Amino acid sequence: MIGQSGDILEIRRFSAADEQAVIDLILPIQREEFGVAITAEDQPDLRGIPEFYQTGDGDFWVAAIGQSIVGTVALKEIGGAEAALRKMFVASDFRGREHGVAARLLDALVAHAERRKIRSIYLGTTEKFLAAHRFYEKSGFIEVARHDLPARFPVMGVDTKFYVRRF
């Protein structure tokens, strides 16, 4: 995919230089689009991505067009060859099949999980993210009940709908 400036979409591992751009992408989506009253301080993982996500079998990726971060996704290892998909965000101007940002981010995460022999990836979302539900379902995730989640899965306060993808 090519951005409006002619730059090509790049999916790459998060680096420390990306921290503020990641926060600047995620917070407005959470607060303004989805009405979640949350701050960066409420999410210490955002200021400690290497320590929180890039350990063990986990990792964190960004979608960049030129110098702009337009998407993120994280894989948090939870033990037992299982992981949690976290921080899947795409800037509104880059959503949809025609852009392919979410699909490319998810492809990077799944390829990493397969290399690391992860057997199951779980995720939590809210009832109102209907487009996200369709995306996850088309990407091989199936809905599971909250009581079927592994005890180690980090349920977020806003999570009401859960999915798993098994390998």
Alpha carbon distance 164, 81 (integer Å): 13
Q: Structural domains in the chain?
A: 9-119 (3.40.630.30)
Q: What is the pLDDT along the chain (167 residues), one digit of tens a residue?
A: 555 556 799 999 999 999 999 999 999 999 999 888 899 999 999 999 999 999 999 999 999 999 999 999 999 999 999 999 999 999 999 999 999 999 999 999 999 999 999 999 999 998 888 989 999 999 999 999 999 999 999 998 889 999 999 99
> What residue type is assigned to position 77 of the chain?
E
Helix (H, G, I), strand (E, B) or coil at 93: helix
- CA angle 74/122/86 to nearest 5° reads 25
Is the pTM for the entire model greater than 0.85? yes
For residue 81 the two structure tokens come to 């060859």
User: For 57-126, where are the alpha helices, taking DSSP H only?
Assistant: 101-115
